[in-house]
Structure 1
Amino acid sequence: MEGITVQSPHARTAFACSALLLATLTACAGAAEADTRKPTAPEGVTAQAGSATSAHVMWERASDNEGITGYDVYREGKKAASVDAAKLMTDVDGLTASTAYTFTVRARDAAGNVSAPSTAVPVTTPAAAPADATPPTAPVELRGTAGGGGRTVTLSWGGSTDDVGVTSYDVYQEDSRIHSVAGTGTTARLTGLRPGTVYTFTVRARDASEKSSPDSNAIDLTTPSAPAAPASTAPTGLRTRTTAEGGEFAVDLSWDQPDTGGTIPAYQLFLNGKMTTTIVWGGNPPAGRATYRLTLPDPPGTRYSLKIRPKLPDGTWGDFSAQRTVVLRG
């Protein structure tokens, strides 16, 4: 029987055992790699009525061994909203006036694991607002302090007035709403910030008809650097002045340059969060306070937020300045 190999019973048994052991080890390895750990439940959940038909829900960041991918907000145990991991707040619309609701939040990860529900928080929507054509006045005297190991700031402001009533105050950082407090409060504590970073905050009041006030004054706060961290390379004292020139507008910028241990050859200018131009000096870079004129062809009333960052002597880009908001007016 040439060409045929016959295995003994012992050889067949050994082969079967080896195959079984390999399958077992492979299964165990796969089980070890699978992510079955649930994220922690979000803490610090708050809910407040934004109007007679909406509520604003906020929470603190949850943790996970692999990473959070999003959050789900539940109303009376039914999913009402979902957001990605970068967001820690959302508005829930479609509510009924003068009605009590309960909200919880769950975190989820990339493997589909969902945390336990957060502590349930109640909120009652107010009665439907009467006709209201007037927005609240702007909050005044916004001020604040940075602390908490470089990750926390505390803000306070003077209250607004409204012909019907202020229902909430919204805190903005670089034109994005990041926090809200009830209309009876005039302080906010913000967490989860980065050490050694300059932040620009404003506050707006909102009434029951969802009309928002003009911005408060802007305030720049720099969080303390982490121990042994390098000094900030952010430009400071950024100021703007807008003038009309024919059919265009000129925005004159000036700022104090950071001490980087060498010459700063260029700056990047960002408008509304997008890099717009690189400022390169025609001759030798200026010393001390720098200036630049930006020309914009947009119509009157156009609003821009702008900030700059320096090119460091080692060729990398440094920290951002505080943000400034300009409205094109003659």
Structure 2
Amino acid sequence: MRRVPAPAPPGPGAAARVVVACAVLALLGACAPGAADDGADGGPPGAPTGVMAVAGSATSVHVMWNALSGRPRIRAYEVYRGTTRVRTVPASEHMVDVVRLRPATAYVFTVRARAEDGRLGPRSRPVRAATPAAAAADHSAPARPLAPHGRVLGGRAVQLSWSRPADHRDVVSYDVYQGGTKIHSVGAGQTATVLTGLRPGTRYSFTVRARDAAGNLSPATAPVRLTTAPGSDDGRGTAPAAFRAGTHLSDGAYYLDLGWVPPRTGGVVTQYQIELDGRPATSLVWGGGAPRGKASYSFYLGRDAGVTHRVRIRAMLPDGTWGGFSPERTVTTGTGPR
């Protein structure tokens, strides 16, 4: 893979708490976190992306990831706890419950894809989850979550929200079901989530159940029935809002100044990808204190005035998938935004 030289470090407008996780202007976008080689060159599968882990009880963790597309075709996914393979599932499945864990223990999980010809791809980025302390012998299920509600975010995504049950202190996680199948889990501190990868113009029914540290499941909420919008909208309902772009000059160099409002996901968005001139440019990961309201970031562009760039941004959603891109903005170094 050919790359241009890494640019100068971010200018004065960059937020110090943000980690630039990848070199700017990596051609073909292969260095962006979550980017995977699709194996089209005959190599092994790429690393699974969008891996997430949520404690489901004192002895279980729910691990999720995105399906790999392209070639080679995938036969199975292997889930590892540390260096130990704990589950293998067919390519049609993209989540597992890892059970028989120890209470009050931190774990690290990775996922690998195995091609139909047996080749094993690299590990995904590691994700961490800690099981809660074990509760005293408990056979009582939590009360059901309250006030389930949903809204359509276009043709391929919806947002679900609910309220904590009266005995929410015992809740460790919430499981989201499509029909009778569990499709997602979130921690007890989250009472909303965005679900992506849906089909346009399709009617869905979702319910939510609470789970406690002993693994007891509440009754399901009343179903939330939603019909996605017809046609493809490129996920714009999950895009950052109020996106703006400009430039400033500092010490003889031009910097790109971006501002946006995080999409409404029900959780805190900690990862973004910036696309510059049609190519992945910079991936941002907030290690802590990710903005819930207005966000901003600046990075180096170069020393030449009169250079025009196109820029847009997208967010990593709670289900581990990329949301839609913001509207594209055009800026020219040495002038204001267009």
Q: How many residues align?
A: 194
Q: Which has the higher helix share?
A: 1
The residue matched to 2:96 in structure 1 has which SS?
strand
- Separation of aligned partners in 1, 2:59 and 2:43: 37
Q: Does the aligned pair in 2 maintain the 1:52–1:95 contact within 8 Å?
A: yes
Contact 2:150–2:158 (8 Å) recurs in 1: yes
Structure-1 residue corresponding to 2:91: 85
Q: Alpha-carbon deviations, 1:267-309, whole Å to 9, x = none?
A: xxxxxxxxxxxxxxxxxxxxxxxxxxxxxxxxxxxxxxxxxxx
Partner of 1:307: none
- The equivalent residue for 1:217 is 222
Amino acid corresponding to residue 199 of structure 1 in structure 2 = Y
Structure 2 residue aligned with 1:105, among 99, 111, 130?
111
Residue by residue, what CA displacement relative to the aligned partner does 1:245-277 show, whole Å, maximum 9, x if unpaired?
xxxxxxxxxxxxxxxxxxxxxxxxxxxxxxxxx
For residues 264-275 of structure 1, what are the structure 2 equivalents within 5 Å?
none
Whichever residue aligns with residue 57 of structure 2, its letter is S
- Specify whether residues 116 and 38 from structure 1 end up closer, same or farther in structure 2 by C-alpha distance, changes over 3 A only: same
1:154 aligns with 2:123: no
Match of 1:65 in 2: 71
Native 8 Å contact 1:132 1:164 kept in 2: no
User: Once the two structures are superposed, what CA deviation does each residue of 1:182-220 show, in whole Å capped at 9, x if it has no partner?
Assistant: 111101111221122111000011111111111111111
Match of residue 182 from structure 2: 177
* Map 1:252-271 → 2, pairs under 5 A: none
Match of 1:226 in 2: 231
SS of residue paired to 1:123: strand
Q: Which residue of 1 aligns with 2:171?
A: 166
Conserved in 2, the CA contact under 8 Å of 1:167 and 1:183?
A: yes
CA RMSD between the two structures? 2.0
Residue by residue, what CA displacement relative to the aligned partner does 1:79-132 show, whole Å, maximum 9, x if unpaired? 110111221110111211121110001122211122211110111111111122
Runs of at least 5 residues in structure 2 that lack an aligned partner in the other structure: 1-39, 234-338
Greater shift after overlay, 83-92 or 128-137?
A: 128-137
Cα deviation, 1:220-247, whole Å, max 9, x if unaligned, reads 111122259xxxxxxxxxxxxxxxxxxx
Check whether the contact 2:54–2:61 (CA below 8 A) recurs between aligned residues: yes
> Aligned pair 1:187/2:192, yes or no?
yes
Cα deviation for residue 164 of structure 1 reads 5.7
Q: 2:175·2:185 contact (CA, 8 Å) conserved in 1?
A: yes
Which residue number corresponds to residue 127 of structure 1?
133
**Alignment match of 2:212 (pick from 203, 207, 211):** 207
Residue identity opposite 2:203 in structure 1: V
User: Contact conserved, 1:135 with 1:162, CA < 8 A, in 2?
Assistant: no
For 2:113 and 2:120, the matched residues in 1 are separated by: 6
Closer, same or farther in 2 for the Cα pair 1:83/1:35, shift >3 Å?
farther
CA distance in 1, matches of 2:102, 2:195: 30
Report if the CA contact (8 A) 2:176-2:183 is conserved: yes
Q: Which moved more, 1:204-213 or 1:58-67?
A: 58-67
Whether the aligned pair in 2 keeps the contact of 1:145 and 1:153 (CA below 8 Å) is yes
**TM superposition shift of 1:35:** 8.3
TM-score relative to the length of structure 1: 0.55
TM-score normalised by L of structure 2: 0.54
- Identity over aligned pairs, percent: 48
Between the aligned partners of 2:121 and 2:197, the Cα distance in structure 1 is 20
Q: Secondary structure at the match of 2:124?
A: coil
SS at match of 2:44: coil
Query: For the structure 1 residues 63 and 115, does the alpha-carbon distance in structure 2 shift closer, same or farther, using more than 3 Å as the test?
Result: farther
